[in-house]
Homo-oligomer: A and B are copies of this chain.
C-alpha cells in the first residue's frame, strides 16, 4: 500500500510546521522570572523536547482548508501542544507510568523533581486555556469560547483523562479489543479529533466539515496508536527514544497483543485507507492530511 502513493511531502511539511510551532510556543510560554522561575523552566523543558508536533500539524492543515490566518491557527496548535505536553509530564510521574526517559531525555520529574513536574503539568494545562481564550486567537468571543469548551471536553474526565484512568487499570483487567479501542479513543483519540476540528471552528465552518474532520481524526488516531504499539513490540529504545516493551511487561492488552503483529498492521492499514477516503473532498486543498495516515504506518519512532 505504501508503494502506491508518494509520501515525500510529509517530512518536509512536518518540519516546516514544527518550526512554526517552536516559534509560537517560544512566544506564548512565560519567560522564566521571579521567585517562581523554576516552574517556568520546567514548562519549557517539557515543551521543547523534540516532539513531532503532530497535533499542531493537524490544526495548521485543517485551518488552511478554511483560509484561517496561520498565526491564529498556530496559537491553537500551541494550546493543544502544551496540553499534550502536560499529559506526558503527569503520565511519566512515579505514581503513573514511572518513566525516567522520554524522547531520549530525562523526564521532567527526573530533570527537576516530582513536585515541580506536577506543578509544571498543571501550569501547561492551565495556559492552554489562556492561549485559546485570549483575543489574539480570534476576534469572535464565540469562537474562543467554543475552542475552550471543546478542548475541555476532549481533555477532561470523559476524554483524555478518562482514557488514562482506564489505562492505569488495564494491567489488572482482561480487556478485549472493544475496551482497548475505547481506551485509545479517549486517551489519544479525543485530542487528535479536537486538533482536526479546531481548524473548522476557527474558520467558522459548518457541522458537516467538523464531523468529517473528526471522523478522519478518529481513524487516524487509531492508526497512530496501533503503530505506536507496534513500535513498542518491534523497535528499540534507541530508535524511539523511550523505554520499549513496557505494555507487555505491565501485562497490558493492546490491539497488537490481541490481534498479533500482522493482524494489527492489517487493521491499521484498513483504518488508514478509510481516513484517506473520508478526506477525499479536501485532497487537493490539503494533501498533507491525506498522506499522514500512510506516513504513520511507515514511521520508525
Contact = CB atoms under 8 A, between A and B. Distances in A.
Contacts of A120: 157
A203 interface: no
Interface in A145-200: 145-146, 148-149, 151-153, 155-158, 161-166, 168-169, 179, 182-183, 186
Interface stretch (A38-46, A56-64, A293-301): A38-46
Given A39-B165, A130-B156, A182-B35, A118 B96 contact: yes
Interface of A: prevailing SS:
helix
Interface stretch (A8-16, A121-129, A248-256, A269-277): A121-129
Interface residues of A, number: 60
Contact of A125 (B30, B93, B114, B122): B122
Contact of A165 (B36, B114, B165): B36
A40 B40 CA distance: 30
Contacts of A146: 133, 141
A4 to B, nearest CB: 38
Contacts of A133: 145-146, 148-149, 152
B95 A118 contact: yes
A126 B161 contact: yes
A247 B165 CA distance: 34
24 contacts: A35-B166, A35-B179, A35-B182, A36-B162, A36-B186, A39-B165, A43-B157, A93-B118, A95-B113, A95-B118, A119-B165, A120-B157, A123-B156, A123-B161, A125-B125, A125-B126, A126-B161, A129-B129, A129-B149, A129-B151, A130-B148, A133-B145, A133-B146, A133-B152
Q: Which 7 A-B pairs have the closest CB atoms?
A: A141-B142, A130-B152, A141-B141, A36-B162, A95-B114, A133-B148, A133-B149
